[in-house]
Chains A and B, each alone.
Chain A
Amino acid sequence: MAKRIEATNVTAYYGAFKAIENINMTVEPKTVTALIGPSGCGKSTFLRSINRMHEVLPGARVEGSLTIDGQDVYDRDVDVTAVRRMIGMVFQRPNPFPTMSIFENVVAGLRLNGVKKKSVLTDAAEKALRAANLWDEVKDRLGKPGAGLSGGQQQRLCIARTIAVEPQVVLMDEPCSALDPISTLAIEELMFQLKDQYTIIIVTHNMQQASRVSDRTAFFSIEKTGDPGRLIEYDNTQKIFTNPSVKKTEDYITGRFG
């Protein structure tokens, strides 16, 4: 049930500022795709354009076409909430709902979708928490506040919350940048398991992470500050990291710029 995503000439703005320009790329189902590039190059903007979270910010808008299995998510009569349910998102900092318990956090999305039956919710919560490798750590304290967990656990809780609604694509915006190395490892392992079922797109600043977890890698860059971000190179991860075809990619990967 993973989906193919195709971006055609995607351009995104914040008010008058053009953040990314003419992005074209295709993401295959059941793969992990990494978006890398220097700060401010528009990786996150592109990621947020995919599930229409970009437009949440005042003055932000997107042009071009972004399809998921052939349907344009920016079509006029598309329901935004349906798009976001289909394309889940994990954020840079763990953001469990502070007033909710661990259990309530996991089932928050299901409750929004009108699932009320306790047994269904319990099953789904266990399933999602197991899938997020968190079940063993929290099964005895599901009623405790989600914000009481450690950073790594919180982030896995957020992943569980995201996959509990059974999305088809999972977007991750630097999910490990606020975590310690051990938690990072746990999340990377989790990504390996999840890609059997989901299409995953991850933004990361960590080159090793990109090379470890992803099948394909897209390199974004900007000419200079204030210019829109562009897609420089998009290829198999191995190729990008061993034998990139663009000089700029090589410079970035070998640490000569960025």
Chain B
Amino acid sequence: MGDTPPRSADAGTGASRVITDHARPAGASARPAEDVPTSRTPGGGALGGGGGLPRRRAFGAERAFRGLTLAAGTAVLVVIVAIAVFLVAKAVPALRANTVSFWTFEGWFPNDPEPRFGIGALAFGTVLSAVLALLVAVPVALGIALYLSHYAPRRLGNALGFLIDLLAAVPSVVFGLWGRDYFSGPVADLSAWLNRYFGWLPLFGGDGPYGASMLLGALVLAIMVLPIITSLSREVFRQTPTANEEAALALGATRWEMIRTAVLPYGRPGVIAAVMLGLGRALGETIALALTLGITFNISFNIIDNGGNTIAANIANAFGEANDTGRGALIASGLMLFAITLIVNITARAIIHRRREFTESAA
């Protein structure tokens, strides 16, 4: 029946047809999935001839190829180990030379004869900027993703979705440049306004100057990760089985209720993954923040005064003048950043894994 909605059609790839294309002796051109069911004359006469069964060869192309792939796999492990070893090897001497506590000292003077540097303020700034950015970006991104997948006319949704995919590929340095040159003005105005009316909140206290602040950095980050989260969530929402959407509608659900019963639960693991990817990007973002933050070394919840710093931005800024200990200190802070992102990733994986019982059996 032609009545079934097109989206629910099984996306089979016609495996059996593909076989007829390819399952010929080697040497036949095995172009991917082309419809050329040419005449199937038996392959060259030499193949599959009579005689006794040949013995398995101990050394042959099979082993060589297998060994090659194994070597490649091992190389990846070696790289990972090398990353850990070399970063630690360079970080440890600097940490040894540090004359103050690495965890609590608020400042970064590793190039002094008596090096003093601490990660506390930087780690705090990293987490604060990323969390603020996600607080802004996630609700908006999910809204756009739903708009594109379930509200906009199909063609408009597809076209805009494509644009969002492209925006997700724009390098971060562009967002940073835009944020510094064109967005800091409006943000400074907003900061002044917030300070005037909500100055009693610690977040919006202080007395300026405004502009190159945590708020600017977080908003630029938010705008940067927005297309990434939107693009992935939209993909997930679009994959909701039509059958489930229709089931909800047939029960008398409104559009929003259909989204809540069928679309959102189905997409939850994918959305969590998208958000975590966005968080990872925000935590590790370097250049956009190096361009927009005011670069100070204190732990403060004030987000509108000039200031703020993150581990990655500090590396970019402080790298130029760093001496040997300075580089070691930066590498130590990079290890710290890696640890933070690793924790975030593992947490995300655990969350997704825990919800798998329901989603896997759905396939």
Q: Shortest distance in angstroms between A106's beta carbon and chain B's nearest beta carbon? A: 11
Contact of B246 among A43, A53, A88 (CB under 8 A): A53
Contact of B252 among A40, A58, A85, A92 (CB under 8 A): A85
Contact of B1 among A40, A51, A58, A84 (CB under 8 A): A40
Question: Is A181 an interface residue when CB atoms closer than 8 A count as contact?
Answer: no
Asked if A145 and B252 make an inter-chain contact with CB atoms under 8 angstroms apart, the answer reads no
Question: Is A39 an interface residue when CB atoms closer than 8 A count as contact?
Answer: yes
A57 to B6, CA, bound (A): 9
Q: Shortest distance in angstroms between B266's beta carbon and chain A's nearest beta carbon? A: 6
Contact of B250 among A53, A98, A113 (CB under 8 A): A53
Asked if A97 and B1 make an inter-chain contact with CB atoms under 8 angstroms apart, the answer reads no
Q: Shortest distance in angstroms between B155's beta carbon and chain A's nearest beta carbon? A: 9
Question: Is B318 an interface residue when CB atoms closer than 8 A count as contact?
Answer: no
Which one of A63-71, A158-166, A190-198 is at the interface? A158-166
Question: Is B5 an interface residue when CB atoms closer than 8 A count as contact?
Answer: yes
Find the residue from A53, A92, A98, A147 having the highest chain B CB count within 10 A: A98
Asked if B251 and A84 make an inter-chain contact with CB atoms under 8 angstroms apart, the answer reads yes
Question: Is A100 an interface residue when CB atoms closer than 8 A count as contact?
Answer: yes
Which residues from chain A contact B262 at a C-beta distance below 8 Å? 97
Asked if B361 and A97 make an inter-chain contact with CB atoms under 8 angstroms apart, the answer reads no
Contact residues, A70-107 vs B (CB, 8 A): 81-85, 88-89, 91-93, 95-100
Which residues from chain B contact A93 at a C-beta distance below 8 Å? 243
Asked if A108 and B243 make an inter-chain contact with CB atoms under 8 angstroms apart, the answer reads no
Which residues from chain A contact B3 at a C-beta distance below 8 Å? 19, 42-45, 48
A88 to B247, CA, bound (A): 10
B1-33 interface code vs A (CB 8 A; 1 in, 0 out): 111110000000000000000000000000000
Size of interface on B: residues with Cβ below 8 Å to A: 30
A51 to B4, CA, bound (A): 16
* Nearest residue, chain A, Cβ from B269: A99
Asked if B250 and A58 make an inter-chain contact with CB atoms under 8 angstroms apart, the answer reads no
Q: A40-B1, A43-B1, A148-B361 are in contact. Are A162 and B251 (CB under 8 A)?
A: yes
Asked if B246 and A56 make an inter-chain contact with CB atoms under 8 angstroms apart, the answer reads yes
Which residues from chain B contact A98 at a C-beta distance below 8 Å? 241, 244, 265-266, 358-359, 361-362
Which residues from chain B contact A42 at a C-beta distance below 8 Å? 3
- Provide the main secondary structure of the chain B interface: helix
Question: Is A109 an interface residue when CB atoms closer than 8 A count as contact?
Answer: yes
Which residues from chain A contact B248 at a C-beta distance below 8 Å? 97, 108, 112
Asked if B361 and A84 make an inter-chain contact with CB atoms under 8 angstroms apart, the answer reads no
Contact residues, B315-335 vs A (CB, 8 A): none
Contact of A112 among B2, B243, B253 (CB under 8 A): B253
Which residues from chain A contact B249 at a C-beta distance below 8 Å? 53, 56, 84
* Nearest residue, chain B, Cβ from A86: B252
Contact residues, B251-280 vs A (CB, 8 A): 251-254, 257, 261-262, 265-266, 268
Question: Is B154 an interface residue when CB atoms closer than 8 A count as contact?
Answer: yes
A84 to B250, CA, bound (A): 5
A43 to B252, CA, bound (A): 22
Which residues from chain A contact B362 at a C-beta distance below 8 Å? 98-99, 145, 147
* Nearest residue, chain A, Cβ from B264: A99
Q: Shortest distance in angstroms between A23's beta carbon and chain B's nearest beta carbon? A: 14
Q: Shortest distance in angstroms between A236's beta carbon and chain B's nearest beta carbon? A: 25
Question: Is B35 an interface residue when CB atoms closer than 8 A count as contact?
Answer: no
Which residues from chain A contact B251 at a C-beta distance below 8 Å? 84-85, 88, 108-109, 112, 161-162, 165
Question: Is B34 an interface residue when CB atoms closer than 8 A count as contact?
Answer: no
Which 3 A-B residue pairings sit nearest by Cβ, starting from the closest?
A98-B362, A85-B252, A99-B265
Interface set of B (CB-CB < 8 Å, partner A): 1-5, 153-154, 241, 243-244, 246-254, 257, 261-262, 265-266, 268, 357-359, 361-362
Interface set of A (CB-CB < 8 Å, partner B): 19, 39-40, 42-45, 48, 51, 53, 56-58, 81-85, 88-89, 91-93, 95-100, 108-109, 112-113, 145, 147-148, 158, 161-162, 165
